[in-house]
Amino acid sequence: RAKEQGRNTYQFYTEGMQDREVMRLELDKDLSQALAHNEFVLHYQPQLDLDNAEIKSVEALIRWQHPRRGLLPPVDFIPLAEESGRITDIGRWVVMAACQQLANWQGTACEHLRIAVNLSGRELDDEQLVDHIREALKAENVPADRLEVELTEEIFIQNIERNLTQLSRLHQLGVHLAIDDFGVGYSSLGYLRDFPVDLLKIDRSFITEVTERHDDAVITRAVINLAHNLGIQVVAEGVETEEQLAFLKNHRCNLAQGYLISRPIPAAELERAMAQGLLLTRTTVDSE
């Protein structure tokens, strides 16, 4: 369209759009240096095992300590990094940082934890991804089953053959696979048959009103049953109330994650909370 318009294109650019474009370019330039300057940090959000009220795993969520703008959430830079391709290097850093963390936790109250890292579909473009993960685990002497990767359903829509190959190799290594934001992704269910999936994470949008809306309750129960019949475990995302937790427990959901249990927190804070048993206060909730 811009081409057709030729020299008149400028009229479509408002000042606001120019500002945004300038900001985007600036942010991309900062992003190019963020790894070298060691500005990324992982926060960890615990997942509560509803069978025994133990924290068995945590999700690693990236933040960027920007030199001028403060601590930025992923939404402010991950989409940009996916566009530019920098996501590949960021993803490698995330995997390495998670493996180092697992190694550092040896001998602490966190030593049994599994870490789940998020990967963008774009990161599966990297042919060396699986080799890199294997080497990161080996370098830190961490068993592969202490690591989990979370991918959204987008990977079942495009480059399916390639993605199946990558994920099968990863699964053979022993790394667990979770489908993130399950239920909002426009993909078919057939892939649950074809891909080596260990966990489904029910999207927060179904959980928010699960105790108020009949249809959300029906969908959540159906997903739990579907997953269990396929031998897949279920995590509920975005659990914020005791009522939601009780509902999920009653319907045999395996794990719960959300602000009710804990927000994503820095590693030091997690270690303190685990050592003091602070995250286990939810054990007192008995729904039956």
Residue from 180, 233, 236, 262 that binds Mg ion (CB under 5 A)? 180
Which is nearer to Mg ion, 30 or 116 (by Cβ)? 116
Residue ranges that bind ligand C2E, judged by CB under 6 A: 45, 61-62, 73-75, 78, 94, 117-120, 150, 180-181, 238-240, 258-259, 264
Which is nearer to ligand C2E, 71 or 278 (by Cβ)? 71
Quote the CA–CA distance of 255 and 54 in Å, as a whole number. Answer: 10
Tell me which residue of 136, 139, 138, 131 sits closest to 169, measured CA to CA. 131
Name the token pair of 30: 């900062």
Which is nearer to ligand C2E, 78 or 270 (by Cβ)? 78
Which is nearer to ligand C2E, 94 or 200 (by Cβ)? 94
Which is nearer to Mg ion, 150 or 154 (by Cβ)? 150
DSSP notation for 143-212: -GGGEEEEEEGGGGTSSHHHHHHHHHHHHHHT-EEEEEEETSS---TTHHHHS---EEEE-HHHHTTTTT
b/e per residue 140-152 (b: at least 16 CB within 10 A): bebebebbbbbbb
Pick what 264 binds: ligand C2E, Mg ion, none; C-beta below 5 to 8 Å, kind-dependent: ligand C2E
Quote the CA–CA distance of 234 and 256 in Å, as a whole number. Answer: 9
Which one of 29-37, 156-164, 168-176, 234-242 is the stretch in contact with Mg ion (CB under 5 A)?
234-242
Quote the CA–CA distance of 256 and 180 in Å, as a whole number. Answer: 13
Which one of 49-57, 115-123, 126-134, 279-287 is the stretch in contact with Mg ion (CB under 5 A)?
115-123
Distances (CA, A) of 80 to 18, 21, 55, 90, 277: 17, 12, 33, 12, 38
Which is nearer to ligand C2E, 120 or 187 (by Cβ)? 120
CB of 12 to Mg ion, least distance (A): 34
CB of 48 to ligand C2E, least distance (A): 12
Residue from 30, 126, 148, 150 that binds Mg ion (CB under 5 A)? 150
Answer yes or no whether residue 118 interacts with Mg ion by CB under 5 A: yes
Pick what 130 binds: ligand C2E, Mg ion, none; C-beta below 5 to 8 Å, kind-dependent: none
Tell me phi and psi for residue 120, to 5 degrees. -80, 150
Which one of 85-93, 112-120, 137-145, 167-175 is the stretch in contact with Mg ion (CB under 5 A)?
112-120
CB of 223 to Mg ion, least distance (A): 14
Answer yes or no whether residue 181 interacts with Mg ion by CB under 5 A: yes
DSSP state of 6: G
Q: Do 43 and 32 meet the contact criterion of CB atoms below 8 Å apart? A: no
CB of 118 to ligand C2E, least distance (A): 4
Place of tokens 């402010």: 76
Residues in contact with 85: Cβ distance below 8 Å, sequence separation at least 6, in sequence order: 122
- Secondary structure (3-state) at 106: coil
Pick what 148 binds: ligand C2E, Mg ion, none; C-beta below 5 to 8 Å, kind-dependent: none
Question: Where on the chain is the footprint of Mg ion (CB under 5 A)?
Answer: 118, 150, 180-181, 237
